[in-house]
C-alpha cells in the first residue's frame, strides 16, 4: 500500500471516530432532555390530580415480574402497549 493510501485510511478512521463521538454525545443529550420532559409531565399530571390510565394487562405483567419471569413480563407489556424493548424493560422494573 502506498503512502497516500495509508494516510487516507488513517484519515477515514479518525473521521469515523469523530462522527461516532459526536453522535454519542447527541444521543446522550437527547436522552437527558427526554427524561427531563417526562419528569415535568409527571409533575404536571400529579399537580392537576390526573392519574395515568393503568397499563393494559398490568396485573399479568406484575404477576410475571414478581414470579421472576421478567422476560415474559416484558413481552406481555410490549404486546399490550406497543412499547419498545427498552421502554418495556424500564416499565416492568418500575412495576415490581
Q: Are residues 20 and 58 in the same domain?
A: no
Confidence check: pLDDT of 63 > 90: yes
Domain with 19 in it: 1-51
- For the segment 8-38, what is each residue's pLDDT rounded down to a tens digit? 898 899 988 888 888 888 888 999 999 999 8
In this structure, are residues 76 and 61 in contact, taking their beta carbons and an 8 Å threshold? yes
| Whole-angstrom distance, CA of residue 15 vs CA of residue 22 | 11
83 pLDDT band (50/70/90 cuts)?
A: very high
Q: Are residues 42 and 61 in the same domain?
A: no
53 pLDDT band (50/70/90 cuts)?
A: confident
Q: What is the tally of structural domains in the chain? A: 2
Q: Are residues 75 and 93 in the same domain?
A: yes
Nine-digit cell string for 96: 415490581
The pLDDT of residue 64 is 95
Query: pTM above 0.75?
Result: no
Residue 45: name the closest of 33, 53, 57 by CA.
53
> What are the helix (H) ranges across the chain?
3-48, 58-66, 70-81, 85-95
Confidence check: pLDDT of 1 > 70: no
Q: Are residues 60 and 86 in the same domain?
A: yes
Amino acid at each position: 500500500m502506498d503512502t497516500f493510501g495509508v494516510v487516507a485510511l488513517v484519515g477515514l478512521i479518525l473521521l469515523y471516530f469523530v462522527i461516532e463521538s459526536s453522535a454519542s454525545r447527541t444521543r446522550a443529550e437527547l436522552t437527558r432532555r427526554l427524561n427531563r420532559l417526562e419528569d415535568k409531565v409527571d409533575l404536571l399530571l400529579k399537580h392537576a390530580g390526573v392519574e395515568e390510565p393503568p397499563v393494559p394487562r398490568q396485573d399479568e405483567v406484575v404477576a410475571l415480574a414478581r414470579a421472576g419471569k421478567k422476560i415474559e413480563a416484558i413481552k406481555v407489556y410490549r404486546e399490550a402497549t406497543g412499547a419498545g424493548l427498552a421502554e418495556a424493560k424500564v416499565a416492568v422494573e418500575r412495576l415490581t
